Structure formats: C-alpha cells, structure tokens
C-alpha cells in the first residue's frame, strides 16, 4: 500500500457538516490500492467500562480519477461531537490512518484519542448553507444590449438596426429592459426560472462593466420604475432575477475617479484606489487587466466598503432582487467578501451570491463568502471531450470526479453550471456548428449536479466566436430561428425540472467509459429511482440492451425523453452523436 497517497484534511471538503447534524467524511487513496476502508468514529467523551466507545462502518468508494480513489461515509453523531479515524485494508495489510498519520492497527492506536481526527462540535452556524430555491433553478443569461429592443426612444443615437451586422466592440443595437419585459412569455414558455442580467447600471459602454453610477439604470436601458416592473413581473411568474455587481473596479468616467484625476493627492477619493504615485498616469495605478478605463477599487478601505455595501443593499431593499453575481470576484480581498455576505444575507437571508471565478474556488466556498461560482472548471472537461475532441471519455469523467470531490456536496448542489457566456465562444461555434454535438453536450451538462445556465440565443441556434461575436443580437424572427433546437431545449428544461431532486441529490455512478468506441454510460440514483444516461460520441451505432444492466423486472423502465414504456428485453440503437435517457422507478 502506498502510504504517501493517502490523504484526508479535517475542517475542509474532506470533513464537514452537511446540514448541521450530518457529517460528510472523505478520504483519498492511490487508485486500486485499498480494498476496503472502515471509518472508526464516536463521541470523544463517551466511554464504557473504561474504554472509549467507538463505532465502525464501511466507507463507499464513491469516485475515481486517473490516479486516485475517493471513499465516502456520512455519520450523525448524537451529541454533535466527533472524533474519527480510518482503517485502510488491502490484501496484505491493515493500517490505521488518523491525526498522527499511518500507524499500525493495535490496541494503543484504537484507544488513544490523540491518534484521531476531531470535529469538536458540529455547529449549524458554521455549516455551508445556500438558498434552497437555487437548487431548482434553470438560469438564463441575458446581455441586455443585445436581447431585445422594446423602446426605440431609449436607444443611443448611434444605435444600428437590430441584427444588421455582426457586432464590433463598440457597437450599440438598442436592447433595453422593456425588451426583456416584452419577452417574458417567451422565457416562461422556454421553461427557465432564473434570469441573470449582465450589468444594467449607468455606463458609457455597451457591456456596462465600467460603471459610472451604481444607483441608476443606464438611460439606454430604462429607469428604476421600468426595472421595478421587470422584477415584479418576473416574481409574479415565480422567476428569480440576479444582477451583476462590478465591485472590483469602477469606470474611469465615474465622479470618484475623475476627482482623483483632477485633484491628485488632494482628492478625498485618492485612497479609494490603488495609486502608486501622483499625478495619475496610465501606468501608475492598478486596474482590471490592462484596461485604463477600469481603475481597481481599494476594497480594504472602510469608505469603499460602506459605499459598495450600501449599493448592494439598495437594490435588495428597493427592488427585491434575488441574487448578486460578483464580477472579477477572485481579485477582491476575502475580508471584503466575508463582510459583504453578512451584510446582504442579514437583509435577505435567501439571497444567492455568485462569484465570477474561472479556477478552483475552494477558499471562497467555505460557507462565509459565496454560495457558488461560475463553474467553468467543471464544465470545461465536458467541452474538451464533446466539442473539442481533445480528451478521452475517461479523462473527462476523472476530471469531473476530482472537481466534485474537491467541494462540499451542498456547494455542488447550487453551483452555476454553464457552457458559454458573454466571455466565451458560443456553444454552437465551439462545437464546430455541429448541432448534434451541441445537443449532446447540453444534455450531458443538464444531467449533472448544480444549476444549469443557458446563454441567450443558445436555444435557437445562435452562433458566435469570442467577444464581441458572442454578443450578437438575439434573433426573434421565427423563420430565422432553429425551431428544432428550441423544441429540444424546452424538452430538456422540462426533464431537468421534473427530475430536479434526483439530479440534485442523486449519487453519480459511472457504468461505462469506453475510450475506444467513445461511448459513455452513467446513472443518477436517489430514493430508489434511477436515471441512466447513454452518450454515443463514436462512429458506430450502440445497441443498448436493458438486460445487460441486471435491472429487476419489477421496475418500470421507460425512455425519459419520450415517456415511452420499454420492455426489459428491449434493445435500443443509440446512433453516433445521439444520447438515450432511461428512467427506472423503484420496484413495484
């Protein structure tokens, strides 16, 4: 057994409170190394006959990567105090793994409390908690300037005719809030129940990430009352709305920055920014990337903190928004985000807090900052396999497993899963304009834990390369839309919402990762129900036989996509590029 590969970190995603009572515990070993792991656990104060009273239970191998196996168990200590260790076994030996590392299994190690990991008390207040509604949300991202023009009188003077050309960086086409209001029937019929808007506050650009005034709606989008109407109409339909907060930086035309430019070291706002010397020049202050018109805010400054917190609270109090998406969240200090969370959740406890982070995000997802991040590291392996054809099926599965194992389950349940956005190539373009591949990729992503997001236009086959081409005008003429794609997306969203509990809480079990034939099968299981997925990315048809999966004949099995009941001896041909979803109910 390779001892160096055994890993467990207490007070992390390896050992955490799931719900204030139940504790989730994970341990990692070298792939194929351990045959069995037993969790030894109990209350550190509970003794019987002079000996510590410990329980043992087997752990389940829950995931694998190219190099490691992950084992899982959950326990509910009666008095919420816990100490625990592991007995790891292979064909040749048993070892004790605890706070002192690898030790022999003997009376001393088993009965000496200093050899055990500790969770002194399982506090509900320390438990990662997220809004329950976020688990059942299908998001729809809107870039307001390009979604719909509802009021020509609001459009900029230089606005181009809607969809008259592919957009350049500085083009305007006149999208506005009225346009979104006008399309609410369309969005409700599509089935989405959460709307994420990129910034809508006053700004000179079409993207609005260079904010001038956080308290005013950009006049080309509308005004506060129009926004109030939008929020109320969404809430009447049972839909949520999330706004985009750009708190890492501000627009260079903002009054605060212009005061610094004018008055230099005498400006009352000089400490609001990271300025290295005066007078201000293009190369002597920190900014977003290398963009001079986006100077970086000093979020450690108490005045800046109060200013930004009041902005966040204003839109909650005045308009009852449901979430904040936080731009460039990884470049803002953790102390600010901890205080931000306390402020906004005190005002609205079920507010959803989403950070824009493109990499591993564990430090922000410990329960005291964000509820979720834009889950690019999770969905990128899917894209690399289905769209780019750069990795194998097994490599994709291993990367997905590793990502899930690095997080707490309740964080994974509300993660913001997306395949494209205003910052990436559009999905159809990334798939080489292969609609069949795009559909399979969407179906695969919708089958995963977390809240899926659709970028506007994906549902009608809108394509586009990187910014600015990913920000094309939405196509509203039905004859120019891909109506088959629209029907597909409606069915996919309906299925996701119908099976949301299973897809949120169900365990993921891989059945087949055939790299040679490019065939994948996995299932999601919860409360006796099962969804089984088959994806054929190979060149030959795949005959799926239900009897090969040893499914009890007492189960009712049907095609989850068509609702057709299937016989247990049925064989179904999954054609190249296609997928199949079977549903199996509990035995009757």
Question: Which residues are catalytic, by number?
Answer: 327, 356
Q: Give the 3-state secondary structure of residue 581.
A: strand
In this prediction, residue 588 carries a pLDDT of: 38
What is the secondary structure of 368-420 as a DSSP string?
A: SS-SEEB-HHHHHHHHHHHTS--S-HHHHHHHHHHHHHTS-HHHHTT-EEES-
| Confidence check: pLDDT of 553 > 80 | no
Report residue 585's pLDDT band, with 50, 70 and 90 as the boundaries: confident
C-alpha–C-alpha distance, residues 535 and 312, integer Å = 43
Nearest of 13, 65, 5, 7 to residue 406 by alpha carbon: 13
| Confidence check: pLDDT of 216 > 70 | yes
Report residue 387's pLDDT band, with 50, 70 and 90 as the boundaries: very high
C-alpha–C-alpha distance, residues 430 and 222, integer Å = 34
Query: Between β-strands 507-514 and 519-526, what pairing exists: parallel, antiparallel or unpaired?
Result: antiparallel
As a whole number, the mean pLDDT across the chain is 96
Share of the chain above pLDDT 70, in %: 98
| Confidence check: pLDDT of 229 > 50 | yes
Residues 216-233 have a mean pLDDT of 98
Q: What share of the chain is helix, strand, coil (3-state, %, to 5)?
A: 30, 25, 45
Q: Do 461 and 481 form a contact (C-beta atoms < 8 A)?
A: yes
In this prediction, residue 111 carries a pLDDT of: 84
Nearest of 355, 352, 376, 129 to residue 241 by alpha carbon: 352
For 180-209, write each residue's pLDDT tens digit: 999 999 999 999 999 999 999 999 999 999
In this prediction, residue 114 carries a pLDDT of: 87
Non-local (6+) Cβ contacts of 357 within 8 A are: 329, 330, 364, 373, 374
Residues 64-70 have a mean pLDDT of 97
Exposure string of 236-263, with b = 16+ CB inside 10 Å and e = fewer, is eeebbbbbbbbbbbbbbbbebbebbeee
C-alpha–C-alpha distance, residues 538 and 540, integer Å = 6
Q: Do 445 and 496 form a contact (C-beta atoms < 8 A)?
A: no
Q: Do 264 and 298 form a contact (C-beta atoms < 8 A)?
A: no
In this prediction, residue 550 carries a pLDDT of: 59
C-alpha–C-alpha distance, residues 419 and 374, integer Å = 10
pTM: 0.96
Q: Do 372 and 355 form a contact (C-beta atoms < 8 A)?
A: yes
In this prediction, residue 556 carries a pLDDT of: 85
| Confidence check: pLDDT of 548 > 80 | no
Least confidently predicted of 221-235, 547-561, 562-576? 547-561
In this prediction, residue 173 carries a pLDDT of: 98
Report residue 109's pLDDT band, with 50, 70 and 90 as the boundaries: confident
Residues 304-323 have a mean pLDDT of 98
The 3 state secondary structure assigned to 262-327 is: HHHHHCCCHHHECECCCCCCCCCECECCCCCCCEEECCCCHHHHHHHHHHHHHHHHHHCCCEEEEC
Provide the CA 585 distance to its chain's centre, in angstroms. Answer: 28
| Confidence check: pLDDT of 288 > 90 | yes
C-alpha–C-alpha distance, residues 528 and 182, integer Å = 43
Q: Do 34 and 94 form a contact (C-beta atoms < 8 A)?
A: no
For 409-449, write each residue's pLDDT tens digit: 999 999 999 999 999 999 999 999 999 999 999 999 999 99
C-alpha–C-alpha distance, residues 189 and 185, integer Å = 6
Burial (CB count within 10 angstroms: exposed 0-12, middle 13-18, buried 19+), residue 107: exposed
For 122-174, write each residue's pLDDT tens digit: 999 999 999 999 999 999 999 999 999 999 999 999 999 999 999 999 999 99
Joined together, the tokens standing for residue 109 give 């190690």
In angstroms, what CA-CA distances link 432 with 380, 381, 418, 437? 16, 17, 18, 9
Joined together, the tokens standing for residue 318 give 């005045």
| Confidence check: pLDDT of 89 > 70 | yes
Beta strands in 168-239 (DSSP E): 194-197, 201-202, 213-217
Residues 545-560 have a mean pLDDT of 76
Share of the chain above pLDDT 90, in %: 92
In this prediction, residue 549 carries a pLDDT of: 62
Nearest of 237, 241, 134, 133 to residue 177 by alpha carbon: 241
Report residue 569's pLDDT band, with 50, 70 and 90 as the boundaries: confident
Nearest of 417, 483, 488 to residue 455 by alpha carbon: 417
For 390-412, write each residue's pLDDT tens digit: 999 999 999 999 999 999 999 99
For 488-530, write each residue's pLDDT tens digit: 999 999 999 999 999 999 999 999 999 999 999 999 999 988 9
C-alpha–C-alpha distance, residues 361 and 365, integer Å = 7
What is the secondary structure of 5-50 as a DSSP string?
A: G-B--TTBTTEEESSSS-EEEEEEEETTT-SEEEEEEE-TT-EETT
Q: Do 77 and 122 form a contact (C-beta atoms < 8 A)?
A: yes
Q: What is the DSSP letter of 537?
A: -
Alpha helices in 37-168 (DSSP H): 107-111
Task: For each of the domains in the chain, give its residue range(s) and CATH number, in order of start.
Answer: 3-126 (2.60.40.10), 141-248+321-330+350-378+410-504 (3.20.20.80), 251-296 (3.90.400.10), 506-584 (2.60.40.1180)
Exposure string of 120-140, with b = 16+ CB inside 10 Å and e = fewer, is eebeeebbbbbbebbbbbbbb
For 328-378, write each residue's pLDDT tens digit: 999 999 999 999 999 999 999 999 999 999 999 999 999 999 999 999 999
Residues 375-383 have a mean pLDDT of 97
In this prediction, residue 554 carries a pLDDT of: 63
For 250-264, write each residue's pLDDT tens digit: 999 999 999 999 999
């Amino acid at each position: 057994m390779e001892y160096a590969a055994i890993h467990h970190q207490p007070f992390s995603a390896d050992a955490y409170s799931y719900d204030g009572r139940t504790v989730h515990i994970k341990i990692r070993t070298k792939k194929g190394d351990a045959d069995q792991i037993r969790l030894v656990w109990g209350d550190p104060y509970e003794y019987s006959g002079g000996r510590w009273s410990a329980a043992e239970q087997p752990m389940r191998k829950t995931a694998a990567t190219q190099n490691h196996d992950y084992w899982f168990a959950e326990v509910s200590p009666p008095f919420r105090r816990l100490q625990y260790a592991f007995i790891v076994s292979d064909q040749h030996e048993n070892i004790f793994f605890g706070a002192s590392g690898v030790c022999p299994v003997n009376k001393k190690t088993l009965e000496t409390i200093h050899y055990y990991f500790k969770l002194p008390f399982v506090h509900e207040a320390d438990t990662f908690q997220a809004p329950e509604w976020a688990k059942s949300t299908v998001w729809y991202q809107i870039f307001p300037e390009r979604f719909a023009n509802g009021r020509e009188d609001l459009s900029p003077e230089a606005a181009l005719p809607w969809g008259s050309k592919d957009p350049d960086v500085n083009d305007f086409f006149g999208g506005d809030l009225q346009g979104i209001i006008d399309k609410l029937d369309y969005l409700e019929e599509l089935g989405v129940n959460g709307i994420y808007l990129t910034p809508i506050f006053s700004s000179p650009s079409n993207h609005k990430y260079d904010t001038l005034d956080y308290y005013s709606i950009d006049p080309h989008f509308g005004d506060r009352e129009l926004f109030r109407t939008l929020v109320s109409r969404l809430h009447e339909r049972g839909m949520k709305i999330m706004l985009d907060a750009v708190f890492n930086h501000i627009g260079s035309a903002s009054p605060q920055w212009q005061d610094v430019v004018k008055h230099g070291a005498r400006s009352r706002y000089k400490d609001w920014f990271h300025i290295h010397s005066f007078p201000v020049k293009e190369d002597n202050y920190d900014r977003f990337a290398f963009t001079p018109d986006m100077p970086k805010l000093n979020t450690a400054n108490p005045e800046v903190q109060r200013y930004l917190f009041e902005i966040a609270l204003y839109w909650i109090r005045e308009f009852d928004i449901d979430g904040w998406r936080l731009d460039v969240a990884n470049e803002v200090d953790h102390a600010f985000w901890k205080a931000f969370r306390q402020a906004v959740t005190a005002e609205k406890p079920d507010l959803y807090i989403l950070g824009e982070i493109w990499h591993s995000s564990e430090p922000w997802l410990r329960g005291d900052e964000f509820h979720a991040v834009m889950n690019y590291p999770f969905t990128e392996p899917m894209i690399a396999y289905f769209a780019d054809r750069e990795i194998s099926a097994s490599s994709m599965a291993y990367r997905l497993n590793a990502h899930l194992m690095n997080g707490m389950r309740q964080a994974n349940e509300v993660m913001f899963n997306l395949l494209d956005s205003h910052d990436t190539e559009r999905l159809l373009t990334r798939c080489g304009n292969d609609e069949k591949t795009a559909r399979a990729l969407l179906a695969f992503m919708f089958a995963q834990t977390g809240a899926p997001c659709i970028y506007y236009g994906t549902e009608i086959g809108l394509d586009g390369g990187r910014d600015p081409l990913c920000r094309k005008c939405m196509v509203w003429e039905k004859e120019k839309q891909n109506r088959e794609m629209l029907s597909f997306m409606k069915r996919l969203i309906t299925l996701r919402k119908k099976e949301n509990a299973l897809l949120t809480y169900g365990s993921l079990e891989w059945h087949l990762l055939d790299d040679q034939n490019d065939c994948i099968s996995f299932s999601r299981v919860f409360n006796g129900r099962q969804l089984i997925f088959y994806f054929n990315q190979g060149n030959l048809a795949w005959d799926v036989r239900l009897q090969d999966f040893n499914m009890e004949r007492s189960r009712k099995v049907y095609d989850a996509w068509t609702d057709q009941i299937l016989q247990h001896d049925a064989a179904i041909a999954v054609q190249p590029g296609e997928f199949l979803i079977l549903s199996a109910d509990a035995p009757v």
